[in-house]
Structure 1
């Protein structure tokens, strides 16, 4: 199922937007797709501009939702002992801040929780932003613990599942979508850190 809220929202145009749906049905968004990563053009900027050094997705609804949910995201990040800049990066890569995001395999909400993961973390309503964020943030924290604070492995496990990471000898599985996802989130995380907007929270 496509992400209708993003397909038909009004767009503030600064760059082309690409979408990728991985083998688990999770949706990922970027304006700088890696070569061979499988991203497809979702929206084309009517006025091409010089290539920006920022990877910011400038969907109007994404910006509105980011501002709306930022206090909750930062509260939950502090509660589960994650950096707010990291949690924001994962949310942006997973759903572009759309609380109604739905993949064809049933991943839901801001952090694209699969039904089994939601059940595992006591999330009974994945459409509820607070429940979804709390479950996803706790899962990400547990993955960091599981993989000895190796952020790259934790992100790979969030995308492909911890068993996939273990199956490949505690390394990033050689799936193009997972490799691209890890790079994407790390890029967003670095941008969030360099912006300084989360410094007072961490």
Structure 2
């Protein structure tokens, strides 16, 4: 078999993402055999090219099996369906962005909120990264404000008097996120979907677990689909 250690790990990640995308009709919404064949062909061509660059020959099916095994064995407690969703949607630029701007000046605030509401600090950071890129003065076109992009009504419900104050914003945003995680029995993917699209919409679709989310992901807005996977990707980066 080919020595895959000679291939850049980032390239191996892209290979894994491409293979997963070709297998996940629940994300693409395309169940046609033609599309699946084309995606597999793209993967095979890229794999063969990389094999040539590595200066060796091997059975492509062996390498493919190894990559698929990497996807199945998460080793971090993330359900396999959500892990596949996360990997399929998370580009290399996601990790680079999180590493370059971790908002370390807010670490003490995030840690305090994490302890108070029992939410993983890496998940809080992932939400902040996606929502505001750690800009405490961020304002969305819809009027969401601050680090965790709180709407005025939501913030007021959690006692926020100044949404641009990092401590108030992170405390309220984490409290809200904690409520959603509890509502959906610890299914973080569903909680993130509700944080982005609203719990009412998630409930109307009939999503209660991460497996439900994987099965019905195509019923949610594209923005929400991408949001979930990016936040989970950021969480993974901040956990290391």
Q: Is TM (by shorter chain) over 0.5?
A: yes
Distance in structure 2 (CA, Å) of the matches to 1:159 and 1:153 = 10
Higher relative helix content: 2
Matched with 1:56 is 96
* CA–CA distance in structure 2, aligned partners of residues 74 and 109 of structure 1: 18
How many residue pairs get matched? 143
Q: Which residue matches 1:187? A: 233
Residue 53 of structure 1, CA deviation: 7.6
CA offset at residue 56 of structure 1?
A: 2.6
Question: 2:38 maps to which residue?
Answer: none
Structure 1 residues 114 and 187: CA distance shift in structure 2, 3 A: same
Matches within 5 A, 1:123-142: 123-142=160-179
Residue 223 of structure 2 is aligned with which of 172, 177, 186? Answer: 177
1:31-82 deviation per Cα after TM superposition (whole angstroms, max 9, x unaligned) = xxx99xxxxxxxxxxxxxxx9586231797x45xx12111211121111111
**In the superposition, relative to structure 1, how do residues 52 and 144 fare at CA in structure 2: closer, same or farther (>3 Å)?**
closer
Q: For 1:2-13, what aligned pairs fall within 5 Å after superposition? A: none
**Paired residue secondary structure (1:158):** helix
Higher share in strand = 1
Contact 2:109 2:167 in 1 (8 A): yes
Q: Which has the larger radius of gyration?
A: 2
Specify whether residues 111 and 53 from structure 1 end up closer, same or farther in structure 2 by C-alpha distance, changes over 3 A only: closer
Is residue 165 from structure 1 mapped to residue 202 from structure 2 by the alignment?
yes
Give ranges in structure 2 of 5+ residues lacking alignment.
1-26, 29-90, 208-212
Runs of 4+ in 1 over 3 A off after TM superposition: 51-54
Query: Structure 1's 144 and 71: CA in aligned 2 closer, same or farther, altered over 3 A?
Result: same
Judged with a 3 Å threshold, the aligned counterparts in structure 2 of structure 1 residues 53 and 110 are, in CA distance, closer, same or farther, namely closer
User: d(CA) in 2 for partners of 1:89 and 1:82?
Assistant: 12
Secondary structure at the aligned position of 1:100 is classed as coil
Q: What is the aligned partner in structure 1 of residue 34 from structure 2?
A: none
C-alpha distance in structure 2 between counterparts of 1:143 and 1:151, whole Å? 8
- When residues 77 and 59 of structure 1 are mapped into structure 2, their CA distance, relative to the original with a 3 A threshold, is closer
TM-score when normalising by structure 2: 0.55
| Equivalent-residue separation in structure 2 for 1:83 and 1:143 (angstroms) | 14
The answer to whether 1:146 aligns with 2:183 is yes
RMSD: 2.3
In the alignment, the residues of structure 1 paired with residue 99 and residue 114 of structure 2 have an alpha-carbon distance, to the nearest angstrom, of: 24
Where does structure 1 lack aligned partners over 5 or more consecutive residues? Answer: 1-33, 36-50, 196-202
